[in-house]
Structures are given as structure tokens and as C-alpha cells.
Amino acid sequence: MRSDLTSQHLALQRNILRELGHKLDPGARVLDFGCGAGDMVEEYCARGFDAFGCDIQVGHESERVRAIDEKTRSLPFADATFDFVFSDQVMEHVQDQAQAFAEIKRVMKPGAISLHIFPSRLKPTESHIFVPLGGLIQSRWWLRLWALLGIRNSFQRDMSFREVAESNFKYLRERTNYLSKSAIVAAVSQSFNNLIFAEKHMIKHTYGAARHIFPLVKAAPFIAPVYSMFYCRVIFFEKPGTA
């Protein structure tokens, strides 16, 4: 279902691309990697783009929203299909990111671009289970401590602290993969040699509170890497060739 939030996400992506020297025009073929219910696919289509999405689990598969093969993790699209591939809050769930980037490269046209936004390993509060430093510290004792102190997500309200801790332990081990910056570089570099970390552009154009620190980023550029380390990664790369 389209909303103000999906509209804001689309505007943010286009603004970041514009800062990087890439104008994304209606008519471009777009892929949402890890699309969930397909809200962003709908939003891009409504703005005149030829948009598609894919995910491991999709509620209703269609021509535009397709399931990724769970065994091979191959994307359900032909080689050289898309002008722009993006993901938002997805890469922290991908167990083999190098393989994912290789598949993304395969479905990109020569000259195509790709943008990915996802939480960092050192984010003060893990985005899904709300445990402080949950992306970094995934030991049972740490998870039990915060569960005992009452930390819960919306699915855990009626669970005991032991149940919450065990649920979080399993979730972090099986459904997240927080990489360090050097590991991200290594994973991307197997397929692309032009990786850019673009957090400063997200800070400038975000619809959240971070935009208020952009004047500081201009005055002290080191703030953007700090933001990247402790809050959010924004990575960009393009496939060599002529569009």
C-alpha cells in the first residue's frame, strides 16, 4: 500500500542519485531487491517507472513482484534487465552478500546504477529486536539481560524474558548478517570496483532528524563516516559499460 513514507523513500533515493551525478528519469526499468509487499514497486510504477520487485517470501507473486529462488538465491530476471537496482533495510538480512551483489550485477544493464541503504553493525539500538548494540553483541547473556529489563518488539509482548532472549538469539543468528565496513567493501568488490559510501547525501536529503546535522557535515566532513559507522550505511556502485 502506497503511503507518504514510500513517497519519501523514493524522493530520498532520487536525490541521493542526483547528488552522485545520476538522474533517474520516468521510464527507467527499476528493481526493488527485497521488496516485501511491493509498496515501493507500486510507488515507482505510479511515478512512471517500469518497476519490479523480488524477495525470498512474497505474499502474492505477480509479474511485477516475484519470488527469489530460496535454494540458489538467483534473481527471477534475465541478464541485463534493469537501469537501477536498489534495496532499503535489506542487506543486513542477506547471509551471502557477495553472492547477492553478483546477482544484482547480472541483472543490471551495462551502465546501470545501484543504491543500498541499511543499518550499520554498530547502531546503538538494533533495528528489529531493539536490543542495544544487538548488531554487534549477539551473546545469549546480553540478550537475556535486555529481555529481563523489559526490552520487547511488538511480536514479543506476551513472552517470558527467556523466550524473548532465545527468539532474539535465533533471529540474529539466522536472519541478520551485519558486516563491518571492510567486509562490505570486500563483498561488493568481488563484482564492482567503483563502490561509493554516500551517507553524506542521505544526511542532506533524509526526511528524518539526521538532515539537521548536515550543516555540521559540511563544516566537519568526518561526521558523515561517524554517522555511517553508528547508524546507517549507504552504498552506491554502477556496472561498467555504456547505458
Of the candidates 70, 8, 6, which has an alpha carbon nearest to the alpha carbon of residue 32? 6
Q: Do 15 and 103 have their domain in common?
A: yes
Is 151 contained in some domain? yes
243 assigned to some structural domain: no
Confidence at 2, pLDDT banded by 50, 70, 90 = low
Tens-place pLDDT, residues 41-99: 999 999 999 999 999 988 888 999 999 988 899 999 999 999 999 999 999 999 999 99
Element (H, E) at 171: helix 161-175
Please give the model's pTM, rounded to 2 decimal places. Answer: 0.93
Co-location of 113 and 157 in the same domain: no
Confidence check: pLDDT of 219 > 90:
no
Number of domains in the chain: 2
Q: Is the confidence at residue 115, as pLDDT, over 50? A: yes
164 and 95 share a domain? no
Mean pLDDT, the chain, as a whole number?
93
In whole angstroms, what is the distance from residue 212 CA to residue 118 CA?
20
